[in-house]
Every structure is written in structure tokens, then in C-alpha cells.
């Protein structure tokens, strides 16, 4: 799960852009969603479980059933992120990253998103429609297209013969004349 880019400076959210479609197309039909989130790095480590409970409560209040999750772990951020907290911007270089997969009706997603936006402990989040299956991508499989061609290290240019001062002066005068 990735974060958005700094230049956009917006909370990640793909559901808000398509929430009208989600409600219109799916109505009361249950769908699978995943929310990936970054909790502000200024949280004390013993406060993280409380914040995870707050997120679960937001989901369960709207009738969502959480069936998979990863507890947040402190991660260094690729770039600094700012968040307005109590009227002042704070900059974060680390954050707790976690995620939850849940099942809920399409018409409840917009409400869940609004609640996530209001949570001051959430630095960024990404809410997407997904599948129930485990979708983590593992390490790359080994190449099977044959052995790689070995490349030789570039060799240095052979040392040049010493140039006399007379030849050097002639070359310089020739360049200036052109």
C-alpha cells in the first residue's frame, strides 16, 4: 500500500472520487474494501492500540466486518509529511503503517471515509475496493529466461604517448585559428 505524493498534499482516497458510482451501482450489496493508513509518528507506542481500536470502531459503527488486518508498525517515510494539528502544521518523518480489510455495503463507504478524515491521529489513508483473497506480493521469482550475459568491467583507456610542448602549441594555435 502506497502513500500519495507530497506535491499533491492531499489525503489519499480513491473511494471519494467514485463514491457516487459505488452507491449507485452497489447499493446495499456487500463489497470488500481495504484501508491502509499512516498514524502520526508522534503517538506513544502504547497509544497505537487505542488508535487502531478507534479505526475499528468507525468501521463497525457502519456495519463493516473486519476480517484481515496488520497491526501498525513504525516506518520511516520516504519524504516528510505535514499535517495540521490544532491549528499548527507538524512535520513527520516516521509514521505507524497498518491496514484492515473489511466487508461493508457500498452506501456506507462514504460515511466511513468522512470519519477517517476527521481522525487527527491519521496522517494519511487509502481506502480502496479490493478482493477477499490475500493479495500481498512476495519476492520476485527467479528469472527463468536463461543465464545472464556477463558484462566485463570497462577498461581504462590506454595511456597516451607524451606530447611535446611544440606539438601542443601547434594544436592550440590551430584551434584558435579556426
Backbone phi and psi for residue 67, each to the nearest 5 degrees, phi listed first: -125, -5
User: Which residues on adjacent β-strands are paired with residue 88?
Assistant: 85
pLDDT digits (tens, 9 = 90+) for 23-69: 344 457 889 999 999 999 999 999 999 999 999 999 999 999 999 99
* Domains of the chain by start residue, with CATH: 15-129 (3.30.70.60)
Residue with the three cell numbers 506535491: 7
**Burial class of residue 63 in the structure, from the number of CB atoms within 10 Å of its CB (0-12 exposed, 13-18 middle, 19+ buried):** middle
Go through the chain and tell me how many residues it has.
178
Closest CA to 38 of 86, 67, 78, 66: 78
Q: Is the pTM of this model over 0.85?
A: no
Q: Higher-confidence residue: 74 or 87?
A: 74
Amino acid at each position: 500500500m502506497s502513500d500519495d505524493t507530497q506535491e499533491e498534499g492531499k489525503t489519499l482516497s480513491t473511494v471519494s472520487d467514485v463514491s457516487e458510482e459505488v452507491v449507485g451501482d452497489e447499493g446495499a450489496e456487500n463489497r470488500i474494501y481495504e484501508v491502509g493508513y499512516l498514524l502520526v509518528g508522534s503517538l506513544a507506542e502504547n497509544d497505537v492500540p487505542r488508535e487502531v481500536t478507534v479505526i475499528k470502531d468507525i468501521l463497525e459503527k457502519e456495519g463493516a466486518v473486519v476480517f484481515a488486518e496488520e497491526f501498525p508498525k513504525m516506518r520511516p517515510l520516504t519524504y516528510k509529511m505535514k499535517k495540521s494539528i490544532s491549528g499548527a502544521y507538524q512535520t513527520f518523518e516516521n509514521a505507524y503503517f497498518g491496514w484492515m480489510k473489511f466487508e461493508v455495503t457500498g452506501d456506507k463507504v462514504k460515511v466511513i471515509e468522512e470519519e477517517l478524515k476527521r481522525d487527527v491521529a491519521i496522517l494519511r489513508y487509502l481506502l480502496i475496493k479490493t478482493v477477499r483473497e490475500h493479495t500481498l506480493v512476495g519476492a520476485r521469482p527467479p528469472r527463468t529466461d536463461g543465464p545472464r550475459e556477463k558484462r566485463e568491467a570497462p577498461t581504462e583507456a590506454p595511456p597516451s604517448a607524451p606530447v611535446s610542448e611544440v606539438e601542443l602549441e601547434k594544436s592550440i594555435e590551430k584551434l584558435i585559428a579556426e
